[in-house]
């Protein structure tokens, strides 16, 4: 606090030596006597005074901060002291104003720093807010993207469902009477064998009727098998597209796996085998049509991966359930993927296929749907050895 | 905290007249200089002014000796009231032991009073003064002017505060002594026991006040 403007000032501070050196002799000349300026304790700051000298106090505020000593009449001494006092009063005003100015500048500067710090803090807050807003916008955009894909998917499923329902309806009726007609035709062919005795063995042999009728039986049998296959595909398609089902229901996913693999199997290229390794599963509440789409997309990709390898191969679909949930793995021994490719599999519109063959949405949609079921979908792949996609759905 | 210089046998209190611009702080000090008659009374030191506006401060030193021989010295300061001089105001306020807040009673000055009082509280905090415990008297000055806020209204508004209120006309000197006496009482009650004024220096509250006010 020694620098405070309202500190105690000493006479030595107010009347420094250089001031006294010019003021002292002038005063001495005026008084026409030796004089001394003493500090509060009586030590001489300047000059000399005889032992007999009188002392006049030099007061700053209330008490003396020094003395003027000279052997002159009291009145003269007081007058000289008053003169000297005016000198150091001017000096003390100057010092006080100077110190106060310094203090107030420091205070103003401190206030400025405070304000500056507050401004910086608010700037930082705005920056943070801007970043946060950016993140929120990005999140919103992503959400919109997801919603758009889900909408697209839902529309697609709906149109597939309508198509499947229409096809099922249109095909089931004709296929029913075609089947019953061909069954009847088979029975009629059997009756034709009785003609052999009526038209005679010569004509019978000439017409090679034994062979014709045997072949007819085979044709009927094959036709019936074909019709049954068509009927099964129609049934699978119906199941796959979730036609005639409520949106959300408790299902045994193994049934879905069988339906979907039926659809996939119907388009299976030669040399590729689709194997199911299903274990008992807890029933879960889900959107079966949507999950079918997931399973179909993943299985189709697996088949394509094997096809791309240009050799025979196997796609193995397995299911396992425990207390936590259901794990479905689709493993192929196809071409596999490099790590950077595998990392981008779930990106929208990422595809390695030529334009027109893939939209690059299959796995993205699969991930959206699995996540909508609070599940996870992961992919692991070894280039040249194959890929395994694992779907986990919590119960 | 008052400054006790044991070697010099001197106890110094710093008291500050605070308030909005042109509310009469310097006038208070000038009247006190005229009205008080303590054993020791210095000249009033006025630093630079601009017109009649205080730029730095005014200083009035007063003092008396206690029965024990202790020199009790009071240094009365005013602050510059203008908003722009906040740094100076803060520097003058620092280390003060008591404050008279001089408000301008005119209705048109109510906002300035409120702002200045808030500034006093804020600056007290900034210079390390415990505002809650600071001896403080609130003076409503310029009662001699016509368009002033009524006394009842002022009392009503300040009813929740613990500080004594006074109503003065510093120009004529009315209430200036009384305001100062109230501050002296508050200062004595705040520091008297801590400084052992009564027990060690034989200085009771009434003697303390009388010593400074004079006969």
Of B40, B87, B126, the CB nearest to A62: B40
Mean pLDDT of A123-131: 95
Mean pLDDT of A147-159: 75
Residue A356's pLDDT is what?
57
Residue A349's pLDDT is what?
72
pLDDT band at A378 (very low <50, low <70, confident <90, very high): very high
pLDDT band at A240 (very low <50, low <70, confident <90, very high): low
Mean pLDDT of A221-228: 90
pLDDT > 50? residue A213: yes
Residue A157's pLDDT is what?
67
Contact B97/B35 with Cβ under 8 angstroms? no
Of B14, B87, B88, the CB nearest to A6: B14
Residue A363's pLDDT is what?
84
Residue A368's pLDDT is what?
82
| Contact across the interface for B71 and A62, Cβ inside 8 Å | yes
Pick the CATH number of A246-395 from 1.10.10.10, 3.30.565.10, 3.40.980.10, 3.40.50.1370: 3.30.565.10
pLDDT > 70? residue A241: no
pLDDT > 80? residue A117: yes
Mean pLDDT of A65-85: 94
Tell me if chain B has a CB within 8 Å of the CB of A100: yes
Q: How many CB atoms lie within 10 A of CB B153?
A: 11
**Residues A352-361: contacts with CB under 8 Å, at least 24 apart:** A361/A149, A361/A152
Can you say how many angstroms the Cα of residue A56 is from the centroid of all Cα atoms in its chain?
87
pLDDT digits (tens, 9 = 90+) for B173-200: 999 999 999 999 999 999 999 999 999 9
Domain definitions of chain A by residue range: 3-105, 136-244, 246-395
A-interface mutation test, from B15, B88, B95, B128, most A Cβ less than 10 A away:
B88
Helices of type H across A193-208: 195-199, 201-206
B-interface mutation test, from A3, A4, A61, most B Cβ less than 10 A away:
A61
Contact B112/B149 with Cβ under 8 angstroms? no
pLDDT band at A244 (very low <50, low <70, confident <90, very high): low
pLDDT > 60? residue A245: no
pLDDT band at A246 (very low <50, low <70, confident <90, very high): low
pLDDT band at B139 (very low <50, low <70, confident <90, very high): very high
Burial of B51 (0-12, 13-18, 19+ CB in 10 A): exposed
Tell me if chain A has a CB within 8 Å of the CB of B14: yes
pLDDT > 60? residue A243: no
From chain B residues 26-45, the ones with a CB under 8 A of any chain A CB are 40-42, 45
| Contact across the interface for A62 and B61, Cβ inside 8 Å | yes
pLDDT > 50? residue A1: no
pLDDT digits (tens, 9 = 90+) for A276-323: 999 999 988 888 888 888 898 899 889 989 988 888 899 999 999 888
- Both tokens of residue A247? 């949106």
Gap between the Cα atoms of B152 and B160, Å rounded: 14
Instruction: Give DSSP secondary structure letters for chain B.
Output: --EEETTTTEEEEEEEEE-STTSSHHHHHHHHHHH---SEE-PPEE--EETTEESS-EEEEEEEE-TTS-EEEEEEEE---SGGGHHHHHHHHTT-SEEEEEEE-BGGGHHHHHHHHHHHHHHHHHTT--GGGS-EEEEEE-TTSSSBPPHHHHHHHTTT--S-EEE-BTTTTBTHHHHHHHHHHHHHHHHTTTTTHHHHH---HHHHHHHHH--
From A105's Cα to the closest Cα of chain B, the distance in A is: 6
pLDDT > 80? residue A242: no
Contacts of B10 in chain A (CB under 8 A): 63
Residue A239's pLDDT is what?
64
Contact A386/A303 with Cβ under 8 angstroms? no
- Both tokens of residue A119? 């401004």
Give me the phi and psi of A207, to 5 degrees please: -80, -5
Of B57, B91, B95, the CB nearest to A107: B91
Percent of chain A with pLDDT over 70: 94
Of B14, B75, B88, the CB nearest to A100: B88
| Contact across the interface for B87 and A4, Cβ inside 8 Å | no
Gap between the Cα atoms of A344 and A364, Å rounded: 10
Give strand pairing partners of B140: B103, B167
For residue B191, what are the CA distances in angstroms to A154, A355, B187, B203? 83, 92, 6, 12
From A92's Cα to the closest Cα of chain B, the distance in A is: 10
The region of weakest confidence among A93-97, A172-176, A254-258 is A172-176
Tell me if chain B has a CB within 8 Å of the CB of A111: yes
Residue A355's pLDDT is what?
61
Residue in chain B lying closest to A40 (CA): B8
| Contact across the interface for B42 and A103, Cβ inside 8 Å | no
Residues contacting residue A350 through CB under 8 Å, at least 6 positions apart: A344, A360, A364
Can you say how many angstroms the Cα of residue B32 is from the centroid of all Cα atoms in its chain?
11
Model ipTM?
0.87
pLDDT > 90? residue B141: yes
Contacts of A100 in chain B (CB under 8 A): 56-57, 88, 91-92
pLDDT band at B80 (very low <50, low <70, confident <90, very high): very high
């Amino acid at each position: 606090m020694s620098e405070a403007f309202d500190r105690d000032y000493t006479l030595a501070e107010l009347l420094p030596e250089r001031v006294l050196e010019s003021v002292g002799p002038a005063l001495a000349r005026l008084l026409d006597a030796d004089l001394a300026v003493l500090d509060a304790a009586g030590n001489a700051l300047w000059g000399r005074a005889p032992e007999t000298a009188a002392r006049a106090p030099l007061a700053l505020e209330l008490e003396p901060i020094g003395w003027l000593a000279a052997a002159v009449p009291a009145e003269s001494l007081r007058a000289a002291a008053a003169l000297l006092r005016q000198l150091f009063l001017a000096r003390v005003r100057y010092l006080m104003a100077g110190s106060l100015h310094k203090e107030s500048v420091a205070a103003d500067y401190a206030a400025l720093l405070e304000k500056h710090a507050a401004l910086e803090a608010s700037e930082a807050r705005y920056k943070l807010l801007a970043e946060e807003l950016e993140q929120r916008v990005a999140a919103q955009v992503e959400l919109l993207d997801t919603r758009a894909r889900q909408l697209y998917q839902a529309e697609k499923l709906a149109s597939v469902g309508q198509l499947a329902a229409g096809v099922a309806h249109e095909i089931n009726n004709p296929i029913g009477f075609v089947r019953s007609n061909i069954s009847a035709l088979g029975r009629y062919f059997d009756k034709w064998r009785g003609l052999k005795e009526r038209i005679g063995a010569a004509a019978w042999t000439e017409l090679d009727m034994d062979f014709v009728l045997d072949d007819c039986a085979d044709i009927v049998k094959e036709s019936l098998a074909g019709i049954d296959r068509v009927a099964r595909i129609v049934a699978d398609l119906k199941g796959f597209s979730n036609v005639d089902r409520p949106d959300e229901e408790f299902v045994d996913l193994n049934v879905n796996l069988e339906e979907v693999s039926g659809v996939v199997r119907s388009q299976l290229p030669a040399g590729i085998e689709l194997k199911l390794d299903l274990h008992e599963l807890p029933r879960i509440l889900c959107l079966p049509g949507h999950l079918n789409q997931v399973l179909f997309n993943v299985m189709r990709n697996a088949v394509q991966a094997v096809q791309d390898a240009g050799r025979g191969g196997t796609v193995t679909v397995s299911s396992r359930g425990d207390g936590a949930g259901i794990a479905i793995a689709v493993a192929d021994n196809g071409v596999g993927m490099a790590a950077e490719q595998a990392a981008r599999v779930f990106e929208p519109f990422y595809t390695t296929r030529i334009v027109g063959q893939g939209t690059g949405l299959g796995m993205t949609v699969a991930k959206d749907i699995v996540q909508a079921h609070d599940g996870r979908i992961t992919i692991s792949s070894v280039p040249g050895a194959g890929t395994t996609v694992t779907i986990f759905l919590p119960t | 905290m008052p400054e006790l210089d044991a070697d010099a046998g001197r106890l110094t209190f710093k008291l500050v007249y605070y308030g909005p611009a042109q509310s009469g702080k310097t006038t208070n000090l000038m009247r006190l200089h005229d009205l008080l008659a303590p054993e020791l009374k210095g000249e009033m030191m006025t630093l630079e002014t601009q017109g009649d506006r205080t730029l730095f401060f005014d200083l009035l030193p007063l003092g008396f000796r206690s029965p024990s021989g202790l020199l009790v010295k009071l240094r009365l300061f005013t602050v510059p009231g203008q908003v722009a001089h906040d740094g100076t105001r803060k520097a003058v306020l620092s280390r003060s032991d008591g404050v008279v807040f001089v408000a301008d009673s005119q209705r048109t000055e109510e906002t300035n009073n409120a702002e200045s009082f808030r500034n006093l509280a804020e600056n007290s905090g900034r210079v390390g003064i415990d505002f809650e415990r600071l001896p403080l008297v609130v003076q409503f000055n310029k009662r001699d002017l016509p368009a002033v806020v009524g006394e009842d209204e002022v009392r009503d508004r300040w009813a929740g505060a613990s500080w004594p209120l006074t109503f003065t006309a510093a120009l004529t000197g009315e209430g200036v002594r009384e305001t100062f006496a109230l501050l002296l009482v508050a200062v004595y009650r705040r520091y008297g026991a801590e400084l052992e004024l009564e027990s060690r220096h034989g200085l009771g509250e009434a003697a303390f006040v009388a010593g400074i006010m004079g006969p």
